[in-house]
Structure 1
C-alpha cells in the first residue's frame, strides 16, 4: 500500500511539478547583439540568476528603434517587464507611451558627467558615435564630419528609421550642418556604399572590405584589440565633436514582476555588472571606479554635441523626412 502510494506520488510530481518551486520569469525586451553569444546578455543573465531565484528571459529584436516600435504596437498588452536598449534619443517617445514606471534607483550612484536625474529611465552604458576605419588601408583619416562628407571616401551607415546609430548620425549631421543638412546628405549620398537596417550588417560589410568607413562607436577599437588582437581599427576624431549615446533600461507599468524588475535595474549599475558590460557590449560604464582594460584609456575622448531628448522627440519625424528626401536624390 505504501509502495503504491509512493509510486503514484512520484508520477504525479513528475507530471505536475510543485508550484512553490516554480521560478518567477522576468521578461526583458532588448536588441539582438546584446543577447548574442559574445554579448552582455548571457553573462548578465548568469550573474543575476545566481541570487534572484528567477528566470531572466531576454527577448531580442534588431535594434533600439525596434524595441520602441514593438512597445508601441503591443501597448498595455506587452509581455515585457522591462525594456533595455533604447537610448536617450528615443526616451521621450518611449515616455509618451505612458507605459514607463519609475525605476526607484538612486541616480547619485551614476557618474556625475552624465548629469542624469530622470526617474523613469536608467542608464546602463554609454559611448560616442564615431566612424571606424582601418589604418592599414587609410593612412590619413578625416579630421571632421565636414571633411568626411566632402570627401570621396566610401562609407556605410545605418538607417535612422530602424537603427539608433543611424539616428545618431542624423543628429550629428543636423548638429553640425543645421539648415544645410539636406545638402550634406545629398553630398554624402554620392559616396555612400549602402545604408543598412542595423549595426551588425553594416559593420560586417566594413570588415569584409566593403568601405573605407563604417558608422559605429568610439569604443569599437577596444573590441578588436581585446577579442581579435588587432589594433588597426581606429575611430576618427572629429573637430566639431561627436554625438553621445546613453543606453537605457526601464521598468514597465504593466509588469507582473515590478519588484524583481527593480532588483534587476539595481543590479545593472553594480560594479559587477558594470565591469561586464564594457568588455561584452563594448560601451563605457555609467558608474565611477570600474577597472577597465588599458585599451579603454587610449580611445578618443570626444567633445559632446547634439540635442536634448525633448527636442529630438519633437523634431525627429521631420529630420527623418529630410534625410529620406535628400539621401534618395
Structure 2
C-alpha cells in the first residue's frame, strides 16, 4: 500500500472513532436473558441506534440490586426487565422518574395506571404439558389439586428466587384466599422438584423428566414457531390465570434524560413491540391483536385474568410464602 493511501486510511479510521466517541451513550441495565444473542436486546440496540444518533449500551445482570447498591451514583439511564414483585421496593428508593407515556390504549387484559413503571410485554402464568404424553391433563386448578398424589409429576420454581415461583404464590392466594394453605398441601405431593429458576424447570420438562411445568400461556408459541412442534400446551383453568407483566423505568439521575425519555417512547413504538413477540415470546404491551403472528392469535387463552395491585401483593407476599414453606417442609 502506498504511504499516502495508508495515511488516508488511518485518518479515516481516526475520524470514525472520534465520531463514535462524540455520540452520547445511553446505558440500559437489563437481565441476562434480555441481552443474550437469542433475546430481544441486539435487535432493540440496532433499532434504537438507527433513530437516536447515540450509542445504546446494555449492562446485563441483576437489575434492581445493582441500582440499589449504586444509588444516585448509578450509571443507568434506564432499566428494563423489572417485574411487579419488585416495584414496591424499587419505588421506595426514590430513584425512578415518571415514564410520561399514555398507557390508556395498552393491549393488556388489565388497565395500567402506574406513572413510573412502564410495561413492555406480558403473559399469564400456566402449567404447560405435552399432549402426546399426558392424555388426561387437569381442566381446572381445583381438578389439579384434587387429583391423586401420583397423578402428575410437576416442576415449579422457588418463589424466593424466581419471578414465576412468586407469581404462583400470588396465583394460589388470589384463588383460594384463606384456604391457600390447604391448596398447597394438596399440590405439594405432586411436585417432583422445586428449581431455582424458570430455565432449570423448563429444561427438566422438555427433557421428559416431568409431566407439567410452571411456565406461561405463551410458552407453546416458541415450540410451534421455532421447532414446528405443536405438542406443548398450556392448561387453561376457569378460575383464571395470574398476569405477569415485564416493566421498564427511567432514572432521575440520568445524564441523558432526553435520550432516556426517547427510549421510553421507543418501547411503545410498533417497531419495538413487534420485536418483543418472538424475541421474548410474550404478548407485547401495545400491539393490536390482529398484528400479532398467527400462532399468538390462536393460542388458547383464559377467560379470566387475575392480578393483585402492588400494595396488596406486597402485603400478601409474606403470609403466602409461609404457607408455601409449611407445605413443602412436610
Shift in Å, 1:95: 0.8
Between the aligned partners of 2:136 and 2:157, the Cα distance in structure 1 is 24
Between the aligned partners of 1:212 and 1:149, the Cα distance in structure 2 is 15
Shift in Å, 1:20: 7.8
Report how many aligned residue pairs link the two structures. 322
Between the aligned partners of 1:113 and 1:53, the Cα distance in structure 2 is 35
Find the residue that maps to 1:244 and give its secondary structure: strand
Specify the alignment match of 1:72 in structure 2. 68
Between the aligned partners of 1:127 and 1:282, the Cα distance in structure 2 is 9
Task: Give the 3 Å change call, closer, same or farther, for CA 72–320 of structure 1 in structure 2.
Answer: farther
Shift in Å, 1:129: 0.4
Q: What does 1:192-207 align with in structure 2 at a 5 Å threshold?
A: 192-207=191-206
Specify the alignment match of 1:266 in structure 2. 265
Output one character per residue of 1:94-139: Cα deviation in whole Å (capped at 9) or x when no partner.
Answer: 2112111111222234237431222111111111001110000011
Between the aligned partners of 1:179 and 1:94, the Cα distance in structure 2 is 29
Are the counterparts in 1 of residues 274 and 287 from structure 2 also a CA contact under 8 Å? no
Output one character per residue of 1:136-169: Cα deviation in whole Å (capped at 9) or x when no partner.
Answer: 0011211122222333311111111221111110
Between the aligned partners of 1:265 and 1:16, the Cα distance in structure 2 is 29
5+ unaligned residues in a row in structure 2: which ranges?
A: none
Are the counterparts in 2 of residues 90 and 313 from structure 1 also a CA contact under 8 Å? no
Between the aligned partners of 2:24 and 2:66, the Cα distance in structure 1 is 23
Specify the alignment match of 1:325 in structure 2. 326
Instruction: Indicate which of 129, 133, 136 corresponds to 2:129.
Output: 133
> Which is further off, 86-95 or 150-159?
86-95
Between the aligned partners of 1:179 and 1:68, the Cα distance in structure 2 is 32
Specify the alignment match of 1:304 in structure 2. 305
Specify the alignment match of 1:226 in structure 2. 225
Matched, 1:277 2:273: no
Task: Give the 3 Å change call, closer, same or farther, for CA 325–80 of structure 1 in structure 2.
Answer: farther
Output one character per residue of 1:154-203: Cα deviation in whole Å (capped at 9) or x when no partner.
Answer: 11111112211111101111112212222322332222122122211211
Between the aligned partners of 1:187 and 1:18, the Cα distance in structure 2 is 65
Task: Give the 3 Å change call, closer, same or farther, for CA 260–88 of structure 1 in structure 2.
Answer: same
Task: Give the 3 Å change call, closer, same or farther, for CA 249–16 of structure 1 in structure 2.
Answer: closer
Between the aligned partners of 2:212 and 2:108, the Cα distance in structure 1 is 32
Matched, 1:120 2:111: no
Specify the alignment match of 1:34 in structure 2. 34
Between the aligned partners of 2:180 and 2:63, the Cα distance in structure 1 is 27
Output one character per residue of 1:60-99: Cα deviation in whole Å (capped at 9) or x when no partner.
Answer: 23xxxx4333333333333222221122343222211211
Matched, 1:104 2:107: no
Are the counterparts in 2 of residues 93 and 313 from structure 1 also a CA contact under 8 Å? no
Are the counterparts in 2 of residues 111 and 286 from structure 1 also a CA contact under 8 Å? yes
5+ unaligned residues in a row in structure 1: which ranges?
A: none
Task: Give the 3 Å change call, closer, same or farther, for CA 118–185 of structure 1 in structure 2.
Answer: same
Query: Which consecutive aligned stretches of 4+ in structure 1 deviate over 6 angstroms post-superposition?
Result: none
Shift in Å, 1:237: 0.4
Between the aligned partners of 2:102 and 2:218, the Cα distance in structure 1 is 27
